[in-house]
Structure 1
Amino acid sequence: MEYQYPIDYHWTTDEIVDVIKFYEAIERAYEKGIDRDELMTIYRRFKEIVPSKAEEKTICGEFEEISGYSSYKTITKAKNASPGEKILIK
């Protein structure tokens, strides 16, 4: 990983850690796969920190621009998957 995650400096340390866990979960979905339920738990926490759709779109767009990994595509696949299914983006 040769990039910095997009973060908001108004977030608390715990919130920053949880948002970074979200980015790492998206990376895992692309690199080796992640359990759908784990991903959705991490995503729900992310949405507590970033409740606005507009802010989510901005932050996730920045993340996709620097990493090449689409949060939108990953979460959409997870929402349509069965509980316990592994999410792997190709």
Structure 2
Amino acid sequence: MTATNENYQYPLDETWTTSEIITVTNFYRLIEAANESTVSKAELMTAYQAFKQIVPAKSLEKQIGREFEAASGYSIYKTMQAAQQTTKQRVRYRS
């Protein structure tokens, strides 16, 4: 199952509830925002924690991250790494 951005599809699990899909899609959009402009670090970190509640297994997180990066060109891992390392209140990741 996938949700669609205007240019690509988000990787989603068909077993997720509507609420979970909304939560994960919100996280994907914040990753995009951090790569295209800036996003609140607190908002991104909160969204990541909610994403981790839905995707607790590291292996599944890596798989979803690879699928998301293949579709969007944005790395969840690298974006979150930059967010965790910055001391600023807003995150902007440039690869």
Q: With the length of structure 1 as denominator, give the TM-score of the two structures.
A: 0.95
* Residue among 11, 20, 23 paired with 2:25: 20
Give the equivalent residue in structure 2 for 1:39. 44
Residue 3 of structure 1 aligns to which amino acid in structure 2?
A: Y
The ranges of structure 1 where at least 4 consecutive aligned residues each deviate by more than 6 angstroms after the TM superposition are: none
Give the equivalent residue in structure 2 for 1:10. 15
Q: Deviations over 1:11-43 (max 9, x none)?
A: 000000000001000000011111111100000
Give the equivalent residue in structure 2 for 1:88. 92
* Residue among 58, 63, 74 paired with 2:68: 63
Structure 1: distance between partners of 2:83 and 2:92: 9
Structure 1: distance between partners of 2:83 and 2:7: 26
Residue 39 of structure 2 aligns to which amino acid in structure 1?
A: I
Aligned residues: 89
Structure 2: distance between partners of 1:70 and 1:29: 11
* Residue among 15, 33, 57 paired with 1:52: 57
Question: Secondary structure, in 3 states, of the residue corresponding to 2:7?
Answer: coil
Which structure is higher in RCO with an 8 Å CA cutoff and minimum separation 6? 1
CA RMSD of aligned residues (A): 0.9
Structure 2: distance between partners of 1:76 and 1:45: 17
Q: Percent of pairs identical after alignment?
A: 47
Q: With the length of structure 2 as denominator, give the TM-score of the two structures.
A: 0.90
